[in-house]
Structure 1
Amino acid sequence: MVWDCKYHLVWVTKCRYPVLGGDVGSRCRELLRETARAHEMVVHAGPINRDHVRMLVSVPPRLSVSRAVQHLKGRSSNKLLGELGYCASATGASTCGRGAIGW
């Protein structure tokens, strides 16, 4: 079976807080790639900027686009919040709830 379902996905952090820089951005990239592999998706390009994520991803036809995005965003957000336990907002606050990293 041959398929080629490519989608350009873009999502931003809440209030476009620049929290995806440095180690957080690197960890986010790792989590997104792990999740994509687990669900048989292929990431062709995936730059992560300080306030948004862009991905060009091939999604198998058995997986809807909404379900693919749900897997990618949900797992990365939950893992980042669990590992970091905090987030930094644009104003420099050291703690917050599901806020800035929540997609």
Structure 2
Amino acid sequence: MSKYKKQPHAVWTCDYHIVWTPKDRFRVLTGLVKDLVERDIQLLSKWKGCEMIELTVQSDHVHLVISIRPKVSVWELMGILNGKLAIKLFKSYPQLKKKPYWGNHFWARGYFVNTVGLNEDHIRRYVTYQETEDRKEESQNEGFDLFESLHE
């Protein structure tokens, strides 16, 4: 499978590493809760047209490496994942709403996100190579001036 995906007017690769935690970093992502979170992240990702690459659910945080279509923002995906998962968790496990846990907020407000892709050195080399190639092309076309005939 190609690293790049294609749509009618775009070729893209938008891979992200996302980490987020339950509120107050309670260690509740174990057993059946962990299984539900893993399964539903897979289903919701597929529903939004995203491709899950890696998923690890630890007792107090989630690591997700995912390929997201350009039409879907990370912010939108996280809103869907956190919202739908919290609703389902509270319905399936009402004891999570009781102390010492939460009221109606399962996840912490923030999350960590980082792009995954070509490393910086590779990108710099590519950009430098492109600049070198452009200069070569310009020097080959040096005698040719598009507007030369207009000036005569």
Question: Normalised by the size of structure 2, how large is the TM-score?
Answer: 0.59
Q: In the alignment, which of 25, 29, 32 is matched to residue 23 of structure 1?
A: 32
Which shows bigger deviation, 64-73 or 51-60? Answer: 64-73
1:35 is displaced (CA, Å) by: 0.4
**1 CA distance for matches of 2:64 and 2:80?**
14
Show the 5 A alignment for 1:4-43: 4-43=13-52
Greater Rg, structure 1 or structure 2?
2
Does residue 61 of the first structure (1) align with residue 67 of the second (2)?
A: no
Aligned-partner residue type, residue 64 of structure 2: M
Unaligned runs of 5+ in 1: none
Count of residue correspondences: 99
Following the alignment from structure 1 to structure 2, what is the Cα–Cα distance between the partners of residues 102 and 70? 11
Higher helix share: 2
Contact residue 31 and residue 76 of structure 1 kept, 8 A: yes
Q: Which residue of 2 aligns with 1:72?
A: 81
Q: Provide the rounded CA distance (Å) in 2 between the counterparts of 1:11 and 1:23.
A: 19
Secondary structure at the counterpart of residue 47 of structure 1: strand
Contact 2:51 2:68 in 1 (8 A): yes
**Is it true that 1:86 corresponds to 2:92 in the alignment?**
no
Kindly report the root-mean-square deviation, in angstroms, between the aligned alpha carbons of the 2 structures.
2.0
User: Secondary structure at the residue paired with 2:56?
Assistant: coil
Q: Deviations over 1:5-58 (max 9, x none)?
A: 001000011111000011100111111111001000111001000000110011
Give the share of equivalent positions with the same residue, in percent: 25
1:98 aligned to which of 91, 96, 104 = 104
Secondary structure at the residue paired with 2:20?
A: strand
Q: Is the 8 A contact 2:90 2:97 kept in 1?
A: no
